[in-house]
Amino acid sequence: MTINFDHNATTPIAPEVAAAMTPFLLEHFGNPSSTHAAGVYAHSAIEMAREQISVLLGCDQEEVLFTSGGSESNNAVLKGLLLVPGKVRPHVILSTVEHPSVTVPCHFLERNGVQVSQVRVDRDGRVDPDDVRREIRPETRLISIMHSNNEVGTLQPIDEIAVIAKEAGVLMHTDAAQSAGKVEVNTDNIDFLTIAGHKLHGPKGVGALIVRNGVQFEPLIHGAAHESGRRAGTENVASNVGLGIACRLATKRLPSCGVGVVRDYFWTRLREVFDDRVTRNGSEQHCLPNTLNVSFHRQEGHDLLARLKGVYASCGAACHASTKELSPVLHAMGRTRAENVSAIRFSLGCDATINQCEQVVEKLVATMETTQLTAYM
């Protein structure tokens, strides 16, 4: 039996989500823009999904903009606000641990005249809000700091940063793709917020961007006036419905999911068994309840994972796990090359058990005992 400790990469689609999507794949084929009965039915289903998302995130229903996923949502904000003609070069503030769907578009924007500043993080991967305050300039247009880090799980002080942004008259964006459905997400003082369906037991290829009422930006995709003129393209009805159901399930699940207890037990067992041969990466106090990033001293993470049969986990982010490049996140957190190359991310689901943790520990012990250690330290 495979143990899936890789939920930050993607989550299995919930049966309720698949069941809700199926009729819109097989029966209810209407275009939501059509005025006949089939179109009206599809439109109503999308609006129901929009409401379900708004309940989870504490925003207004009309503030929910459907996208193809987290990457599109992030690109839409950055390019829609910053890629604008004018004499004044707009300025954006990021952290050094942002997801590539933020950093790569910003590299593109920088080549097109946008000013980009990156604030450092501490050894836990957290931003100091005062550092953000100090980076604000008259031409600062946007602050984009992720809600939680996908690799180490560290939660950022978004509420404090959002207040700083509001006081300065600067728009605030946060990528909450890893947070939504795992912890409460407060949208107060947030102008843009990103979520992704497949991170909370919804389908892949769908996400949402929360756009605060009254905030204007240039659409990333131009065409007809879908999504209140903010994103052109015939709506992906089935996936939108699936995302709505996933958010409804997350709203019910959040108060009762005990994954944090299981994660803490797992970390305790790793320390008991491996003692000073393991180091935790990320904040213990400010962290997603399901995420544990650990460096196994004198091991090569990719090789260790390859030998760890029957366990799903990751080295760094899944979007670049096929390479053996050092993690920019761990580098930004001040980790040594040895700590970086030996890191493995375990990300548990709400169905994770103590017994599964024990099995993974046993597999790790057996794997290390039968393998020549790599002398990185």
| Active site (catalytic) residues | 319
Task: Give the 3-state DSSP-derived string for 258-316, with helices as H, strands as E and coil as C.
Answer: CHHHHHHHHHHHHHHHHHHHEEEECCCCCECCCEEEEEECCCCHHHHHHHCCCEECECC
C-alpha distances out from residue 372 to 61, 202, 285, 367, Å: 56, 41, 35, 10
Say if CB 186 and CB 48 are below 8 A apart. Answer: no
Radius of gyration of the chain, Cα coordinates, nearest whole angstrom: 21
β-pairing verdict for 207-211 and 64-67: antiparallel
- Which helix or strand (DSSP H or E) is residue 208 part of? strand 207-211
Quick one: DSSP state of residue 62?
Answer: G
C-alpha distances out from residue 346 to 141, 266, 279, 284, Å: 36, 10, 13, 14
Report helix, strand or coil for 214.
Answer: coil
CB atoms within 10 A of CB 143: 27
Task: Pull the structure tokens for residue 92.
Answer: 């954006």
Say if CB 9 and CB 315 are below 8 A apart. Answer: no
